[in-house]
């Protein structure tokens, strides 16, 4: 297991917080469409980046892919 990911599997509170952020990220992505403006896409990417930073604070390396 990747170091830092263990918190997701061992701490229910951390898992719930991460899952909420992942859900928010998926909703933001799902709401983008072919008719979305560049401004809307940039704002969505900014919000997703902020959520990714929150996830990294909760469980470092969670979003990193295994090598």
Answer whether residue 46 is part of any domain.
yes
C-alpha span between 6 and 29 (Å, rounded): 27
Looking at residue 67, what DSSP letter applies?
-
64 lies in some domain: no
1, part of any domain: no
Q: State the pLDDT at residue 48.
A: 97
Of the candidates 30, 13, 26, 32, which has an alpha carbon nearest to the alpha carbon of residue 52?
26
Q: Is residue 63 part of a domain?
A: no
Q: What is the pLDDT of residues 3-58, one digit of tens each?
A: 556 788 889 999 999 999 999 999 999 999 999 999 999 999 999 999 999 999 99
Instruction: List, as one string, the DSSP characters of 10-48.
Output: H-HHHHHHHHHHHHHHHHHHHH--TT--HHHHHHHHHHH
> Is 65 inside any structural domain?
no
Domain that includes residue 25, residue range = 6-58
Q: Is there a domain that residue 47 lies in?
A: yes
Q: How many domains does the chain have?
A: 1
pLDDT one-digit tens code per residue, 13-22: 999 999 999 9
């Amino acid at each position: 297991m990747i170091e830092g990911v263990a918190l997701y599997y061992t701490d229910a509170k951390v898992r719930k917080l991460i899952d909420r952020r992942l859900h928010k990220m998926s909703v933001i992505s799902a709401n983008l469409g072919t008719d979305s403006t560049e401004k809307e896409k940039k704002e969505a990417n900014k919000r997703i980046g902020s959520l990714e930073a929150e996830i990294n604070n909760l469980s470092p390396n969670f979003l990193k892919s295994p090598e």
